[in-house]
Amino acid sequence: MKAIELHTWFERDRAHVSLRDAETNQTIIEWWDEEVCEAIEDGFLDMRDLEGSATAYAEAMGIL
């Protein structure tokens, strides 16, 4: 399995969550603004475990 890193950024009404390949720094999957809120509301992202839930989602989608 690839080494991955979780990157997050939250500021006022802006939000960004992404998984990146730790070696190449290429984005594997990312969510911006409303997509972050929708993914949380739909249960795909868990604020208590963003890395685990984002990784599980990427695996389920066949990205990882």
C-alpha closest to that of 50 among 28, 14, 18, 22: 18
Q: What is the pLDDT of residues 6-42, one digit of tens each?
A: 999 999 999 999 999 999 999 999 999 999 999 999 9
Is residue 35 a contact partner of residue 45, using CB atoms and an 8 Å limit?
no
Is residue 59 a contact partner of residue 53, using CB atoms and an 8 Å limit?
no
pTM for the model stands at: 0.89
Count of domains for the chain: 1
Residue 28, beta-bridge partner list: none
Beta-carbon contacts of 53 under 8 Å, excluding residues fewer than 6 positions away, are 44, 45, 46
Structural domain harbouring 35? 4-60
Residues in the chain: 64
The pLDDT-based confidence of 1 (bands split at 50, 70, 90) is low
Report the pLDDT averaged over residues 47-61.
96
